[in-house]
Amino acid sequence: MGRRQKTTMTLITVLGVTVVAIGLVALCVLGLRIGYPGNAPLSYRIKWLLTNKPYYTVERRLPNGTIVNIDPGRAYIDKQAEAAARVLSGVSPEDLQSVNSFVRQAHFQLNDLVASGHHRRFTDNSTWASSSKEYLWERRVKEYVSGEGEMNLVARARETAEKVGSKDLKADLETFSRTLQLAYEKKDVQLLILAHRIVHDLDYWVFGNETFESRDYWGATFTLEGKSNSVNRLLEGMPDYREIILPDDRQLEDTSQSLNDKKLIQVVVKRGNDVFSFGTPFQFSGFGIVSDIQRLLWVASRGGAGIEPETRQVESKELDTVLETGAKLRKPFCFVHLIYKPYHPMQGMNDTAHKDLIVYTDPRNANDAYLAVQNPDNETRWSLYRLPDYAQWLKKEVDLLLRIHTGL
């Protein structure tokens, strides 16, 4: 082969590889490759392609000190923080632990059954796998459907639903129960996967528990997605299953009104002498501290995470004086001021009425912080919760927010 022919062959090979590579990039960038949500931004898809990691995460510390991995490419889930808080407020404190415990256990059991590729055991048609499939259906899944005591997830889901006030959470627990039962009756592994996704989203994104493995978001619950949830959409093409599994519309909440009742208008952040104001609503979905402060209010009012539930009542003038004093200190002083429209929880909801919320470092104690809750009926009155040892958490959250959204 002559020199010119070798050069030509090399060019053809390089050109062929380039065309294939461009094709793969185009598929991923256009969203035709499975592994991320269809509304993922272009930068997210490119990073996913280059790293070959479907989910990239960053660490964030919650108000109770727990460190969790959050997927920044799916920050839109923070939009649902108020929905989660509303649902949890409908569970009495004495029942909250048992409800959370059931969701956690059900997720653990279904994880072991179908997550991380385990669902392939149900579809393996090799000879050696037949006995394994029979064991999985007739021992494992059957026990979850008709077993005794705590292993009967179908019965426990319905018992747990009786302890919650939210119609949407009830619907999720009932849908999980029906899906799991029908999966066993039909020997349908796809229904097992749907059941897993329901308790997965409840476990991680409603109750905020630590992850077993990856912190995916499936959008599978009425609690967070309403009727547009992925289980509802998937069952549209399966009318026989849909009629059996999904709850009647009358069993669901009309959340359009209640979600809008707690309306955030503006976020003001102060660090040292600098003040930053954010007033564009779509920005708030990327502010993890907004949902953290809502959870902090929920915990503080119940005396959790080392916070005393007792409050001190102050007038606006006194609070303004404290904030002005802090601003004059040489040591870094910071606060986050969430400006809301007056919010009153619906009747029967175990939630706290409020207007604005302010979290600030204590000017007199470098380790502590305070949560100030404005009275929605008398805007000159504030309730103060002392937050022991929360000052460093607040400073780090403020630094993180400003670095991400201002570059400072």
Residue-wise pLDDT tens digits, 373-401: 999 999 999 999 999 989 998 998 898 88
Averaged over 285-305, what is the pLDDT? Answer: 76
pLDDT-above-90 percentage for the chain: 25
Token pair in block for residue 124:
């393996």
Q: Is the pLDDT of residue 172 over 80?
A: yes
- Asked if 285 and 292 touch (Cβ cutoff 8 Å), the reply is no
What is the pLDDT at residue 210? 76
Q: Which of 50, 15, 3, 7 is nearest to 29 (CA)?
A: 50
User: 337: alpha, beta or left, given left = phi > 0 and alpha = psi -120 to 50?
Assistant: beta
- Asked if 69 and 57 touch (Cβ cutoff 8 Å), the reply is yes
Instruction: Return the amino acid letter for 326.
Output: G
Averaged over 11-32, what is the pLDDT? Answer: 56
Please give the angle made by the CA atoms of 72, 302 and 100, to the nearest 5 degrees. 60
d(CA 249, CA 270): 45
φ, ψ of residue 338 in degrees (nearest 5): -100, 115
Q: Is the pLDDT of residue 258 over 50?
A: no
SS3 category, 330: coil
- Asked if 357 and 387 touch (Cβ cutoff 8 Å), the reply is no
Q: Is the pLDDT of residue 165 over 80?
A: yes
Which of 75-84, 134-143, 158-167 is least confident? 75-84
Q: Residues near 400 by Cβ (< 8 Å), separated by ≥ 6?
A: 60, 288
What is the pLDDT at residue 56? 43
HSE toward the beta carbon, residue 59, CA cutoff 13 A: 5
d(CA 347, CA 107): 31
What is the pLDDT at residue 225? 79
φ, ψ of residue 255 in degrees (nearest 5): -90, -5
Greater pLDDT, 372 or 233: 372
